[in-house]
Structure 1
Amino acid sequence: MNSTNLLNAAPVPPHAGAALDTAHVGDIRGALGTIKLGDAGHERGLFRRLKTLLAILGPGLIVMVGDNDAGAFSTYAQAGQNYGTTLLWTLALLIPVLYVNQEMVLRLGAVTGVGHARLILERFGKFWGAFSVIDLFLLNALTIVTEFIGIALGLDYLGIPRLPGVGIAAVLVMMAASTGDFRRFERFALILVLGSLLLLPLFVMVHPPMGQVVHDFSTVQMPKDGKLSDVMLLIIGIVGTTIAPWQLFFQQSYVIDKRITPRFIRYERLDLWLGIVLVVLGAVALISLVAHCFAGKPEFGQFTDALGVARGLAQYHGHGAGTLFALALIDASVIGAAAVSLSTAYAVGDVLSVNHSLHRKPREAKGFYLVYCGLIVLAAALVLLPGVPLGLLTNAVQTLAGVLLPSASVFLLLLCNDRQVLGPWVNGRWTNAFTSAVVAVLVILSTVLTAAVIFPDIGENQIVAILVGGGVLATLIGLATLAMRAYRAAVRPRSQHHGREFNPRQMEQWRMPPLHLLEPAQLTSSTRLWMGVLRLYLVLAVAMVAVRVLQLAFAQA
């Protein structure tokens, strides 16, 4: 069956499709409501629509607030303490990137019923499938360690011994996901989402100047003090912690596990926007209050870790401020640990085709829960070991996430243009153009990082030259790609154009067929070339991050 016939086939009923776990099919049992399978009354009246939205709420809120985790606290606090509010503009620029990336994965989840890692394996081969899972596993394992670092630092400030405190936190995170009740886990996660709002009263207590916050949020500028290569490293860290690769895998799999289908995509998009508002408010509040707390103080420009921030807040704004910060840090670390562990367990379950659902009890999905709980136990144990460079590890994870994000975005873009996979839900032209531009910017930033590692004394003019040159090159490549696509579209036989229009009802019913019915992905020679370039980029970028981390480690020794 070719792709044209595939699109012209009768719509697949919402209960069919390619779901790899039978637990992914059934009623939607969200934290705030239930939608019965086959219930078609969700559009009838404002009250019913509100009930539907409440039942759908969860995936977007959890993935976004989970992104403001321990690593984010460290990275944002470092930006505020070392450079004031001058880097707030990075958050404004990342808002559309957050939405476009996460909207693509929620669409993939709702339409395909198959997780991100499995789709990469099926459509691009064993190498990239294995790479995506191994890369995710290793990066997530390090990320979970940073979550327990955050828990440990918060406990240190509160005067609670690390050993019992970290142990209790680990048990709590494992128990929350191991009841076999999806709704119970989501309620636990949404309570933690509410806990993230602790940053707002803390912001009020510190009361940074709103005029300065608004100005720096809306004005692109670079800090006047500090080495430019260090600033660029921090910017890459902000990108990596705000748009982390685990988010892509988590939201797609969580949407599937919640049993969300295409007819609820509009509600899930609203859920995502609510999550983005919360994550951006939290990040802005964190950078701003830390910047104001240390402005003009001896500690300004001397960031150590989140514990140092909590103590500084207590010193200059009272013990209550430090306590709120510590509680918010622990809350963020717990939800981060749960979400990142789940993204890994979902991905492994997808690729190995074993049961992987929060609707299942541990005895019904042993491999899924073994990965989830194993990562948490390992991370908690590492944090309790003496001599581990916790602060350096936290910064390294955020930077590594930043340089690995382009590869994740490339496969996301390819999947969202695969008509075998998404049918009428494939990306539009503007989404493709925007995502391609984002990938180009991320690669350029990584190039700057590489240059700063190879040439430690690189000057501002050289870095600007790399940015401008990379931008010009990316623009030329983009124009060439558009011209090539226009030419292919012009010479393509009319029978190969996918011109059928789908009405809203048909789009709501369209699901990806089972994986074994799909034709192999049709990759052009240029796509294969760029995937080869991507491999080279990943090797060089990861190597440069490792070198940079070693440099920082020796500098601190």
Structure 2
Amino acid sequence: MGSAKITSAIKEMAKALGPGLITGASDDDPSGIATYSQAGAQTGLATLWTALLTFPLMAAIQGMCARIGLVTGRGLTLTIREHYPKGLLYGVLLMSFPAITLNIGANIEGMAAVANMIFPAVPVPAFCLCITAVLIAAIIAFPYRKIANILKWLCLSLLLYMAVPFMMDQDWVAVARNAFIPTIALNKDFILILVAIFGTTISPYLFFWQATMEAEDAAHGRQDPALGRRSLADMRKDVNAGMLLSNLVMFFIILTAGSVLYPAGIRRIDTVAQAAAALEPLTGRLTYLIFAAGVLGTGFLSIPVLAGSQSYMLAETFGWKTGLDKKFHKARLFYISIIFSLAVSVGLDFFGISAIQALLYTAVCYGLTAPVMVAVVLHIGSNRKIMGENTNSMLSNALGAIALIIMSAAAFALLYFLFF
């Protein structure tokens, strides 16, 4: 293949990448990085296999959400509002909003803590305020297309994590064994780590964001309005690429923590700052800086997705004008809800709610809403009245059913260990 053909293929692939890539990359936010770091520190390499399991499940669920957005031209909230009881929609909103708000707060606090470690002269609260101000200004000032392009570039920050394990000696036979042969320890700590991993990777807010962004792209002519084969094929490439990137990063973070922190006897990581600080004396300043830079990049990538998905849900429920492509005065309530969400989230950092507390509460809310949302997405994707000829394939339904079983089991396990 000549250089011209290679360049053309790369350009075609880049055009196909969009909402799916951003959705997958935003799943590896600072709170997710803390979860994966804790998994590696606590269990070594024993949870590496989860990355291989969650990839097809995430790809199937997010693919359904993307197809719903493309076919209906509407977000998931609006589709639920029109075809399902309002009690279901309000129930999902009530559970999702606290989880998303706490998640944003935990991410801002994690980013600020890492920035403070690099520039200790600036206190953490000051970084929290600065990060929040930058995010609000960017979301209001830039239209969706520009935000999407910025987010695409921030996805590159995730590649930093994939380089770290190759900077140290590895027992690749042990890595392969733990990746392909599942290990499950029937004790509270291990089960809770599994619950946290599944809850972090299959998060309901990503369902809403994926469907809405596909609908926005279709409205802007990025996808073929007639939904031809190429449009659906591009969507599948996009979603699969995003989910693959997400799971690769998850794999390498667990690998890094499992091969560095676990042998050193470091068993508890509550924040991304702790993970970065623990790596420095063991692997050197360069690894520490790579880890810290990745946290900042993924934070700026994920928080607009979190805040945007929450505001789209609220706007579509109450019929407000929506769109990150609109000017502030044309979608005032939509943007005010984003500002309010970020303000409340950063406020948590000033009221003594630690990042680990926020993550615990977030896991509870996500763990309870995820099975319901997976079931709803499965039902919508198989409903011919809504989807026409573009219903789920047998493979998608099978993978979705497995995800539903796993998330339901995770919810029951979470409740059991929290209350008993």
Q: Fold match, TM over 0.5? A: yes
Correspondence 1:120 to 2:80:
yes
User: Match of 2:164, SS?
Assistant: helix
Correspondence 1:357 to 2:323:
yes
**5+ unaligned residues in a row in structure 1: which ranges?**
1-44, 456-557
**5+ unaligned residues in a row in structure 2: which ranges?**
none
1:501-532, CA deviations, whole angstroms, 9 ceiling, x for partnerless residues? xxxxxxxxxxxxxxxxxxxxxxxxxxxxxxxx
Note the 1:433-512 alignment, pairs <5 A.
433-455=398-420
Q: Which of 363, 367, 370 is matched with 1:402 structurally?
A: 367
Cα shift at 1:336 = 1.3
Per the alignment, residue 287 of structure 1 pairs with 254
Per the alignment, residue 96 of structure 2 pairs with 136
Note the 1:260-271 alignment, pairs <5 A.
260=223, 261=225, 262-263=227-228, 264-271=231-238
Correspondence 1:167 to 2:129:
yes
Mapped to 2, the partners of 1:422 and 1:297 lie a distance apart of 53
Mapped to 2, the partners of 1:130 and 1:386 lie a distance apart of 28
Mapped to 1, the partners of 2:85 and 2:262 lie a distance apart of 52
User: Match of 1:425, SS?
Assistant: coil
Say whether the 8 Å CA contact 1:84–1:295 is kept in structure 2. Answer: yes
What TM-score results when the alignment is normalised by the length of structure 1? 0.69
Mapped to 2, the partners of 1:74 and 1:62 lie a distance apart of 20
Mapped to 2, the partners of 1:454 and 1:344 lie a distance apart of 29
Mapped to 2, the partners of 1:181 and 1:390 lie a distance apart of 31
Correspondence 1:334 to 2:294:
no
Per the alignment, residue 17 of structure 2 pairs with 57
Of the two, which has the highest radius of gyration?
1
Mapped to 2, the partners of 1:251 and 1:412 lie a distance apart of 12
Cα shift at 1:366 = 0.5
What is the letter of the counterpart of residue 265 of structure 1?
Answer: L
Correspondence 1:203 to 2:165:
yes
Per the alignment, residue 147 of structure 1 pairs with 107
1:520-548, CA deviations, whole angstroms, 9 ceiling, x for partnerless residues? xxxxxxxxxxxxxxxxxxxxxxxxxxxxx
Correspondence 1:425 to 2:390:
yes
1:197-244, CA deviations, whole angstroms, 9 ceiling, x for partnerless residues? 121232322444332222211111125xxx712211111110010111
What TM-score results when the alignment is normalised by the length of structure 2? 0.91
1:50-71, CA deviations, whole angstroms, 9 ceiling, x for partnerless residues? 6554334210110000000011
Note the 1:39-118 alignment, pairs <5 A.
51=11, 53-118=13-78
Say whether the 8 Å CA contact 1:236–1:445 is kept in structure 2. Answer: yes
What is the letter of the counterpart of residue 390 of structure 1?
Answer: A
Per the alignment, residue 504 of structure 1 pairs with none
> Greater CA deviation, 169-178 or 280-289?
169-178
What is the letter of the counterpart of residue 278 of structure 1?
Answer: L
Correspondence 1:212 to 2:174:
yes
RMSD of Structure 2 on Structure 1 (CA)? 2.1
Mapped to 2, the partners of 1:123 and 1:410 lie a distance apart of 14
Cα shift at 1:116 = 0.6
Mapped to 2, the partners of 1:129 and 1:281 lie a distance apart of 33
Per the alignment, residue 247 of structure 1 pairs with 206
Correspondence 1:273 to 2:240:
yes
Mapped to 1, the partners of 2:171 and 2:368 lie a distance apart of 33
What is the letter of the counterpart of residue 327 of structure 1?
Answer: A
Cα shift at 1:157 = 1.9
Cα shift at 1:134 = 2.6
Mapped to 1, the partners of 2:320 and 2:6 lie a distance apart of 40
Mapped to 2, the partners of 1:110 and 1:392 lie a distance apart of 37
What is the letter of the counterpart of residue 249 of structure 2?
Answer: G
What is the letter of the counterpart of residue 374 of structure 2?
Answer: S
Cα shift at 1:289 = 0.7
Cα shift at 1:49 = 7.5
Cα shift at 1:132 = 2.3
1:116-136, CA deviations, whole angstroms, 9 ceiling, x for partnerless residues? 111112111211122222322
Correspondence 1:228 to 2:187:
yes
Mapped to 2, the partners of 1:315 and 1:81 lie a distance apart of 15
1:105-157, CA deviations, whole angstroms, 9 ceiling, x for partnerless residues? 00000000111111112111211122222322222111111211221221232
Per the alignment, residue 370 of structure 1 pairs with 336
What is the letter of the counterpart of residue 107 of structure 1?
Answer: R
Cα shift at 1:180 = 4.9
1:36-82, CA deviations, whole angstroms, 9 ceiling, x for partnerless residues? xxxxxxxxx99887655433421011000000001111110110001
In terms of fraction of residues, the more helix-rich structure is 2
Say whether the 8 Å CA contact 1:71–1:398 is kept in structure 2. Answer: no
Cα shift at 1:432 = 2.3
1:455-499, CA deviations, whole angstroms, 9 ceiling, x for partnerless residues? 4xxxxxxxxxxxxxxxxxxxxxxxxxxxxxxxxxxxxxxxxxxxx
Say whether the 8 Å CA contact 1:91–1:280 is kept in structure 2. Answer: yes
Distance 1:319 1:47, change over 3 A: closer
Say whether the 8 Å CA contact 1:137–1:344 is kept in structure 2. Answer: yes
Question: How many residues get paired?
Answer: 406
Distance 1:454 1:360, change over 3 A: closer
Q: Which has the higher contact order (CA 8 A, sep 6+)?
A: 2
Mapped to 2, the partners of 1:77 and 1:254 lie a distance apart of 30
Q: Which of 328, 353, 356 is matched with 1:388 structurally?
A: 353
1:367-414, CA deviations, whole angstroms, 9 ceiling, x for partnerless residues? 11111122112212222x153232232233235323321100011011
Note the 1:178-197 alignment, pairs <5 A.
178-197=140-159
Note the 1:508-527 alignment, pairs <5 A.
none
Mapped to 2, the partners of 1:382 and 1:290 lie a distance apart of 28
Say whether the 8 Å CA contact 1:176–1:184 is kept in structure 2. Answer: no
Mapped to 1, the partners of 2:158 and 2:11 lie a distance apart of 24
